[in-house]
């Protein structure tokens, strides 16, 4: 009988295919322009700082300014109740921590007295976006909105196409190995069947000789 050989090809293929899920959808601009949530968030609306809501106002004001200078803060879109943890960092896509810093282009306390103007780039629901807004340093509220990030969307689209091509190559390779595996199993089964038939014929011949 043939020794049992588990087919590990499926588990290996699944591991390769799922090791890195796509970060964006295939048509980002279409989703940004037609998705109901994006349509609401792309219009300027009231925003609020939501960090440390259980603390006194003076402490929250100080903490907010500190967090902005560190390059992050929790902000909510008031009309939709959408809460975001935003990072106000340049080169947010870089793998190097020293590249991701809170520059004045992303955190600007000097543009208007009593306000801070903020900018954040990220991927939301598979779409590259830029969040822009300002917040009053005393009231801790202001105005903000989302914009479609054209430049980053192009980069991510290219990465997505490369990823899909890689998946297709892996799939073709997996199918080839599956076919080879099944062909080998069939050849071995046929070979075993031939051995069994030969043994049966040999046994029948011996029985016939003894009977004679």
Query: Please, which residues have CB within 8 angstroms of residue 17's CB and are 6 or more apart in sequence?
Result: 167, 170, 171
Both tokens assigned to 140: 């801790």
pLDDT digits (tens, 9 = 90+) for 9-56: 554 545 554 456 789 999 999 999 999 999 999 999 999 999 999 999
d(CA 102, CA 68) in angstroms, rounded, equals 8
Share of the chain above pLDDT 70, in %: 86
Q: For tokens 């390059």, what's the residue?
A: 71
3-state secondary structure of 148: strand
Q: What is the pTM of this model?
A: 0.71
Identify the H or E element spanning 74: strand 72-77
Q: How confident is the model at residue 189 (pLDDT cuts 50, 70, 90)?
A: confident
C-alpha–C-alpha distance, residues 147 and 182, integer Å: 52
């Amino acid at each position: 009988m043939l020794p049992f050989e588990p087919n590990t090809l499926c588990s290996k293929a699944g591991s390769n295919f799922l090791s890195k899920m796509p970060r964006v959808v295939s048509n980002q601009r279409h989703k940004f322009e037609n998705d109901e949530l994006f349509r609401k968030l792309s219009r300027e609306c009231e925003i609020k700082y939501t960090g440390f809501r259980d603390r006194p106002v003076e402490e929250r004001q100080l903490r907010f300014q500190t967090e902005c200078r560190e390059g992050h803060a929790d902000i909510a879109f008031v009309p939709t109740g959408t809460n975001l943890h935003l990072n106000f960092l340049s080169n947010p896509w870089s793998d190097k921590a020293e590249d991701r810093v809170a520059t004045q282009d992303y955190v600007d306390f000097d543009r208007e007295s009593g306000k801070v103007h903020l900018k954040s780039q990220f991927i939301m629901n598979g779409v590259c976006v830029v969040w822009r807004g300002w917040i009053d340093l005393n009231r801790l509220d202001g105005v903000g909105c989302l914009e479609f990030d054209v430049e980053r969307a192009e980069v991510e689209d290219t990465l997505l196409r490369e990823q899909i091509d890689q998946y297709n190559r892996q799939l073709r390779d997996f199918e080839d190995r599956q076919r080879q595996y099944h062909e080998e199993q069939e050849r071995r089964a046929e070979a075993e069947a031939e051995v069994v038939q030969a043994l049966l014929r040999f046994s029948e011949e011996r029985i016939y000789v003894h009977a004679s």
